[in-house]
Amino acid sequence: MQLAAGAAVGSALPGAGIPFAQAAGSPAKLVMQASWVNDAEFTGYFVAMQNGYYTQHGVELDYLSGGPDVIPESALLSKKADVALTTVEDTLSAVTKQHAPLVVIGTQYQKSPAGIVSLAKNPVRKPADLVGKTLAVPPANRLAVEAMLKLNGIDKSKVHIVPYAYDPTPLLKGEIDASLDFVTNVPYVLKMQGQEAASFLLYDFGFPVFNDTVVVTRDTLKNKRRELVAYLSASRQGWQENLQDPAKYPPLFKDTRFKGNGRETANEVYFNQAQKPLVEAPGGIFSMSDDSIAKCVEALNAVGIKAKREHFDTTLLQEIKA
């Protein structure tokens, strides 16, 4: 897919007409809650901030880093944040089981990067290969893994599932057979330790769901619609610019956004390149086609999350100018 390069800082976007800031006066404040610690997963937003795209669209963005103890949905419900990146299964579980007033307005990943990673010398290439094996899974992703097993006719009791703390050391030591992690990242870490990885996406084995879904409360959707469209427009522009050359921006954030995350710049570049096909879509970054929503809803319903089409609002995406 060919994407247009981002507009120069300070210029109007192609086809954008009057920038939001000119039409509305001073920039509108918006708080974004990320789903994880700062790394290449969020490069598009960092590019948009650095290049002034949010300001250009009339938004003053306050970006909040995530982490293992951060629950994005809680940040929304407590009004700590206006918009958050989430895992769609957790969000729609909260909506359908706890009546949380949340709605999905876009998705960063068309295909979730979550997958099963193993060593090539002892490969786990498909769900059936997990039977009798030890699989390490972060608590936040347990639901997704159990869903994948169920959808592939595998009794979860046949797989020894243990907690995972996003550290490939147990895999390298042979203490586990595989782990649930982003396939966009861990293979690089393993390669640096002299091991080739084998992996597969949950998406490709019965669990075709989005990831890093862009979520807001119903109240925010009603009262800050224009600001949300501006946010999506600027964010898309940042991602378009970033993915033009995935090796360009990670080095620029080495001592700022990525500082202290424990990763080499080369790792962030690998991650950024690997996520490109998972982010891009014919309808544009953040888009959600009717077909992809239907598949996501069907997969969630198959594991007891009674998701519906009405939990996804694509009307804001139709107003994006970038």
Where does the pLDDT of residue 9 fall: very low under 50, low under 70, confident under 90, or very high at 90 and above? very low
- What average pLDDT does range 241-267 have in this prediction? 97
pLDDT of 63 > 70? The answer is: yes
Give me 149's structure tokens. 């097993």
Determine the pLDDT at residue 174.
96
- Can you tell me the distance from the alpha carbon of 279 to that of 183, in angstroms, rounded to the nearest whole number? 14
Alpha-carbon distances of 91 from 30, 55, 250, 274, 278, rounded to whole Å = 20, 29, 29, 25, 20
Determine the pLDDT at residue 1.
28
The mean predicted confidence, pLDDT, of the chain is 91
Name the pTM for this structure.
Answer: 0.89
Determine the pLDDT at residue 19.
44
Alpha-carbon distances of 291 from 85, 298, 300, 317, rounded to whole Å = 21, 11, 14, 16
pLDDT, tens digit (0-9, with 9 covering 90-100), for 71-103: 999 999 999 999 999 999 999 999 999 999 999
pLDDT, tens digit (0-9, with 9 covering 90-100), for 169-225: 999 999 999 999 999 999 999 999 999 999 999 999 999 999 999 999 999 999 999
- Can you tell me the distance from the alpha carbon of 160 to that of 134, in angstroms, rounded to the nearest whole number? 5
Where on the phi/psi map is residue 17: left (φ > 0), alpha (ψ -120 to 50), or beta?
left
- Comparing 7 with 229, which gets the higher pLDDT? 229
- What average pLDDT does range 286-314 have in this prediction? 96
pLDDT of 143 > 90? The answer is: no
Taken in order of first residue, the domains within the chain and their CATH numbers are 20-111+209-319 (3.40.190.10), 114-205 (3.40.190.10)
